[in-house]
Chain A
Amino acid sequence: MKKIFAVALGILTAIGGFVDIGDLVTNALVGSRFGLSLAWVVVVGVIGIVVFSEMSGRVAAISGRATFDLVRERLGPRIGLANLLASMGVTFLTFIAEIGGVALAIEIATSVNEVLWVPVVAAALWIVLWRVRFSVLENVFGLVGLALVVFAVALWKLDPDWGALWAQVTSFSPGADNTWTQYCYYAVALFGAALTPYEVFFFSSGGVEEHWGEKDVGTMRLNVFLGFPLGGALSLAVAAVTAVVFLPAGVEVESLSQVPLPVAIALGKIGVAIALLGFFAATFGAACETGLSVGYSIAQFYGWSWGKFVAPRQAARFHAVILLSTLVAVAVLLTTVDPVAVTEYSVVFSALALPLTYLPILVIANDPDYMGERVNGRLANVLGSVYLVVILVVAVAAIPLMILTRGGQ
């Protein structure tokens, strides 16, 4: 019974924890502009994150080593350093976007400008990262993040023309108002939002901290195979409601405050309240994950002591990095930069950095020196290799598409 509860909890937190500001903003924006014609990208992206999370989780459980620990062993100090700078840069950009997202969610609820909330949110976030236990952090924000299910309920209440929605899904084309380059640009953005590198840094580091062993691989797989796809379904629900409400009206989603409107139409005030709670939990939880991931990656690269399971003074440099990145993130947000714009750039730059993260994982997961008999099976290798090609194509296309479309305009 206790075991079943633990597994259920893991799956539920994986669902709530999957969605972050990148998924929310990108899916809402894409839904309002392209309908569900890009839904296939979310499906492809979710399969990708499942494949590589399972691999990095297995590596963490069998070898006791987190992803960035191994990046340097396999790539050497020089290319490893380039990889560290790129991955940390993208994760830090996402961190800024998540803090801004929390502030925006509170702004929608209070009508007090988000810039005023930024220092408050950052202070609360830092206290959580400094003092709150890892398991509490993971479970509370994951579970409250499930409030986003309200988007699926809203979709059902809106009772759209399901046949027309399905026709959008299977159209695979940008529609009359958009060009193919815009379509491809947002495909890259959705892909980057689903596969953000911090997710595997956080996932594998958490596994090492919780001392996963060979016997935990089964539970880990259940969480990944069930939790992440259901989280992806939540993202699709967000895209679907904006497609139903905004697309016919010709309204483009440009701010986070527009995203709960379809819920308001379907479910009224109470729906909006639940949606905002979901926004808050999803972005705050992701802010914790990205903040920790910045610390994880640099500490693991240089071999520092790291983690939430030891007292901060035993991992002084790790905590100093977290404190410093929180302060810099506040400084960036206080320039009144639009958090939604930061989010849009962060998901595209994520797509650019993907090969750096996922190639070393694929190599290590095949190394019997680390993995013994638990090296990749044929399925994992075929999927992993196919995805690596896809990831490379996406990474190469990201910047040219960004320039061609002027950031999607």
Chain B
Amino acid sequence: MPGRDEPGFRRQYDAELHLLDRQIVDRDGRPVAKVDDIELAVRADGRLAVAALLCGPGALGPRTGGRPGRWTTAIWRRLRTEEDPQPGRIDAALVTGTDNAVHVSASADELRVDGLERWVRHYVVDRIPGAGHAD
């Protein structure tokens, strides 16, 4: 598949093998999410390019397929407040490099693709003494 001429992306690569299901790591080296799906765009010259990385159950459900996939998507949809919820989206311009992981130039808090993490942090973990204590 022809790729895009952006920093971080090689000109040409196999997105299925080198992008999908890879770990996304933020600028501090913390895991953010997996590349659950990708958004493709047609460039001016007619070739396909990766426009964004999609994360979360809303992106993973359709890729899982079958009943487990439908359930994943349905539960995620029900838990969202929006009329037509969209999966978490990381613009391809934020990608700084890919090796064993996909590195992005923002922090996890700025990306805001991990709704469940923030919910659990706010309502559960932060209420337990010692939640801010690292090793």
Instruction: List the interface of chain A (C-beta within 8 A of B).
Output: 63-65, 69, 72-73, 76-78, 80-81, 130-131, 133-134, 299, 302-306, 308-314, 316-317, 319-320, 323, 370
Please give, as numbers and ranges, the residues of chain A lying within 8 Å of B66 by CB-CB distance: 78
A/B pair count, beta carbons within 8 Å: 91
- A76 / chain B contacts, CB cutoff of 8 Å: 21
Known: A63-B100, A302-B34, A312-B125. 8 other contacts (CB 8 A): A72-B21, A77-B36, A78-B64, A303-B32, A304-B117, A309-B135, A316-B124, A320-B124
DSSP class of A's interface residues: helix, strand, loop or mixed?
A: helix
Q: How large is the interface on B (under 10, 10 to 19, 20 to 34, 35 or more residues)?
A: 35 or more
Quick check: is B79 within 8 A (CB to CB) of the other chain? no
Q: Judging by beta carbons under 8 Å apart, are B120 and A316 in contact?
A: yes
Bound complex: CA A317 to CA B32 (Å): 12
Whether the Cβ atoms of B30 and A303 lie closer than 8 Å is: no
Q: Point out the residues of chain B lying under 8 angstroms from A312, CB to CB.
A: 125, 128, 130-133
Tell me whether A133 and B130 are in contact (CB under 8 A): no
Q: A63-B100, A64-B100, A77-B63 are in contact. Are A303 and B125 (CB under 8 A)?
A: no
Contact with A along B59-79 (1 / 0, CB 8 A): 010011110110000000000
In the bound complex, how far is the Cα of B32 from the Cα of A161, in angstroms?
Answer: 60
A317 surroundings in chain B (CB, below 8 A):
116-117, 120
**Taking CB as reference atom, which chain A residue is nearest B33?**
A303
| Nearest B residue to A62, CB-CB | B100
A320 to B122, CA, bound (A): 12
**CB distance B121 to A306 under 8 Å?**
no
Asked if residues B125 and A313 are in contact (CB atoms below 8 Å), the reply is: yes
- Are B64 and A81 neighbours in the complex by a CB distance under 8 Å? yes
5 closest cross-chain pairs (CB), A and B: A303-B34, A316-B121, A311-B134, A316-B120, A316-B125
Give the residues from 7 to 34 in chain B that come closer than 8 angstroms, CB to CB, to chain A: 21-24, 30-34
**In whole angstroms, what is the CA distance A314 to B64 when docked?**
28
Interchain nearest-CB distance for B118 vs A (Å): 8
Asked if B31 contacts A304 (CB within 8 A), the reply is yes
Interface residues, chain B, with chain A CB atoms under 8 Å away = 21-24, 30-34, 36, 55, 60, 63-66, 68-69, 100-101, 108, 114, 116-118, 120-121, 124-126, 128, 130-135
> Are B64 and A303 closer than 8 Å at their CB atoms?
no
Complex: how many Å from CA A77 to CA B64?
5
Report the nearest B residue to A133, measured CB to CB: B135
Q: Are B31 and A303 in contact (CB-based, < 8 A)?
A: yes
- Kindly state the separation between the CA atoms of A299 and B120 in the bound complex, as whole angstroms: 14
Closest to A131 in B: B130
Given A133-B135, A308-B135; A314-B30 close (CB under 8 Å): yes
Flag if B21 contacts A320 (CB, 8 Å). no
Known: A78-B65, A81-B68, A311-B131. A65 touches B30 (CB 8 A): no
A283 to B32, CA, bound (A): 33
The residue on A at minimum CB distance from B26 is A305
| Inter-subunit contact A320/B125 (CB<8 Å) | yes
Q: Which residues of A contact B125 (CB under 8 A)?
A: 312-313, 316, 319-320
Complex Cα gap A306–B117 (Å): 11
CB distance from B116 to the nearest CB of A (A): 6
Question: A262 CB to closest chain B CB, in angstroms?
Answer: 40
Residues of A within 8 A of B60 (CB): 77, 302
**Interchain CB contact (< 8 A) of B100 among A65, A77, A78, A299:** A65
Residues of A contacting B23 with CB < 8 Å?
A: 65, 69, 303
Residue numbers in A under 8 Å from B121 (CB-CB): 313, 316
Measured in the bound complex, the distance between the Cα atoms of B22 and A65 in whole Å is 11
